[in-house]
Amino acid sequence: MERRTQVAIIGGGPAGLLLAQLLDLVSVESIVLERQTRAHVEARIRAGVLEPGTVAVLEHAGVAARLHRERLVHTAFNLAFGGEVLRIDLAAHAGGAMTVYGQTEITKDLIDARVARGASPVFEALDVAIHDVETASPVVTYRKDGVDSRIRCDFVAGCDGFHGVARATIPPSVLRTYERVYPFGWLGILADVPPCARELTYSNHERGFALASMRSATRSRYYVQCPMGEDLAAWPDERIWDELALRLGPLAAGMARGPSIGKGIAPLRSFVAEPMRHGRLFLAGDAAHIVPPTGAKGLNLAVADVSQLTAALAAYYQGQGTAALDSYSAVALARVWKAERFSWWLTGLTHRFPDADAFSRKMQTAEFEYIRQSRAAQVVIAENYVGLPSPALA
């Protein structure tokens, strides 16, 4: 079977789904291919701390109604260090606020929107391969229910994550990657208990990092730093709650305990692939870059990518030439590297590194003290946390 479209989108996560939704608004046709089942995609537990610019894009895409009903709005977040809690006022220092709304819920909203438009993603699309991206007529092949299919298109958008086929399609002679793998992971627990604080708290404790987060007013998400290779079976719920009680310091007084409804260990890495375009193939989201979850930049970067890519494709189909497409990679990477810097810096401030010596510890302490005493430092943190200005969202 062969089909024809303008943009073939590989990956049915939030980046690919949002790109399809945004392209509809500028009358650009697309088809979304997703390897997993719909149930699997809608069950994936991910973070959900959204910058104001991300919320604006979701509003523009017409998928923010439930978000507005259910979200939590945070005008600040906390840094805890040595038992002291410092509140970073986002509203006062950066004129913005963050929205807490789970990425899982965003994905459900986007799938519902695609189905309502009669453009459901092709789920369980196996053996996806991308061909001829250096020509004017790329082809994407896949297998669905035992039937081999082809999509002829003008452009391919690789929104298929770190392990997807899109980035692997770019020849090694063209692609350059930059990576830092951190020597620890985040052990997370999700539970139907009220959050211990109204705002997110990043805590640096002598036993390691901890994060108190939430998905709603009745569902909490907590993390503790743990060594890579740790056995999840060695961490029953009670051990995690006990560790959080130690690492969160004063905030632990408000922590309610309950049985986990989700638990896992996530590795931390910083990763960037350059360029984000090869021929008529464009990378977006985790296919091109990964940030540590510290600072909550991953989903927000993906939304900025697809927003920029939509504008570039719209300009092309409206007869404005290829200038915006040609600059896509350079403009996106300028934004990506700033977010990578902030995530790397905040990870370094809040975590205990196994090879850190006494000097490194003193530097962490001095950094926190400087932030505590300096309004200018808090402004810089707040500006980065709520999201630096982006051409894609202008």
pLDDT in tens, 85-133: 999 999 999 999 999 998 999 999 999 999 999 999 999 999 999 999 9
Q: Using one digit for the tens of pLDDT, what is the confidence trace for 3-12?
A: 999 999 999 9
Whether 391 shows a pLDDT value over 80: the answer reads: no
293 catalytically annotated:
yes
DSSP run (H or E) holding 289: strand 289-290
Confirm whether 356 is domain-assigned.
Answer: no
Q: Give residue 44's pLDDT band: very low, low, confident or very high (50, 70, 90).
A: confident
Per-residue confidence (pLDDT) for residue 96, from 0 to 100? 93
Q: Using one digit for the tens of pLDDT, what is the confidence trace for 296-341?
A: 999 999 999 999 999 999 999 999 999 999 999 999 999 999 999 9
The active-site residue out of 205, 289, 297, 351 is 297
The active-site residue out of 52, 195, 292, 293 is 293
The active-site residue out of 101, 182, 328, 385 is 385
Q: Which of 38-47, 231-240, 284-293, 377-386 has the lowest mean pLDDT?
A: 38-47
User: CATH number, domain at 165?
Assistant: 3.50.50.60
Q: Using one digit for the tens of pLDDT, what is the confidence trace for 239-261?
A: 999 999 999 988 899 999 999 99
Are 37 and 141 spatial neighbours (Cβ–Cβ below 8 Å)? Answer: no
Confirm whether 186 is domain-assigned.
Answer: no
Tokens encoding 113: 């929107």
Contacts of 39 (CB under 8 A, 6+ apart): none
Helix (H, G, I), strand (E, B) or coil at 115: helix
Average pLDDT of the chain, as a whole number? 95
Cis peptide, bond prior to residue 275, ω within 30 of zero: yes
Confirm whether 360 is domain-assigned.
Answer: no
385 catalytically annotated:
yes
Whether 389 shows a pLDDT value over 90: the answer reads: no
Confirm whether 6 is domain-assigned.
Answer: yes
74 catalytically annotated:
yes
Confirm whether 138 is domain-assigned.
Answer: yes
Q: Pseudo-torsion of CA 248, 251, 256, 262, nearest 10°?
A: -40
Q: Using one digit for the tens of pLDDT, what is the confidence trace for 198-226?
A: 999 999 999 999 999 998 889 999 999 99
Whether 372 shows a pLDDT value over 70: the answer reads: yes
The active-site residue out of 74, 108, 289, 351 is 74
Confirm whether 373 is domain-assigned.
Answer: no
Whether 36 shows a pLDDT value over 70: the answer reads: yes
Per-residue confidence (pLDDT) for residue 48, from 0 to 100? 85
Through-space distance between the first and last CA atoms of the chain, rounded to whole angstroms: 40
- Helix 52-60 crosses helix 14-25 at what angle (to 10 degrees)? 50
Q: Are strands 277-278 and 281-283 parallel, antiparallel or unpaired?
A: antiparallel
Per-residue confidence (pLDDT) for residue 393, from 0 to 100? 39
Per-residue confidence (pLDDT) for residue 210, from 0 to 100? 97
- Domain carrying residue 154: 2-74+98-179+269-350
Per-residue confidence (pLDDT) for residue 216, from 0 to 100? 87
Confirm whether 372 is domain-assigned.
Answer: no
Kindly report the pTM of this predicted structure: 0.94
Instruction: For residue 65, report the phi and psi dihedrals to the nearest 5 degrees.
Output: -60, -50
Whether 392 shows a pLDDT value over 60: the answer reads: no
| Residues forming a β-bridge with 208 | 205
CA dihedral sign of residues 172, 178, 183, 189 = negative
Mean pLDDT, residues 146-156 taken together:
97
Confirm whether 199 is domain-assigned.
Answer: no
Instruction: Tell me what percent of the residues of the chain surpass a pLDDT of 90.
Output: 91
The active-site residue out of 182, 202, 223, 328 is 202
Q: Give residue 394's pLDDT band: very low, low, confident or very high (50, 70, 90).
A: very low
Per-residue confidence (pLDDT) for residue 390, from 0 to 100? 61
Rounded CA-CA distance 130/68 in Å is 38
User: How many domains is the chain partitioned into structurally?
Assistant: 1
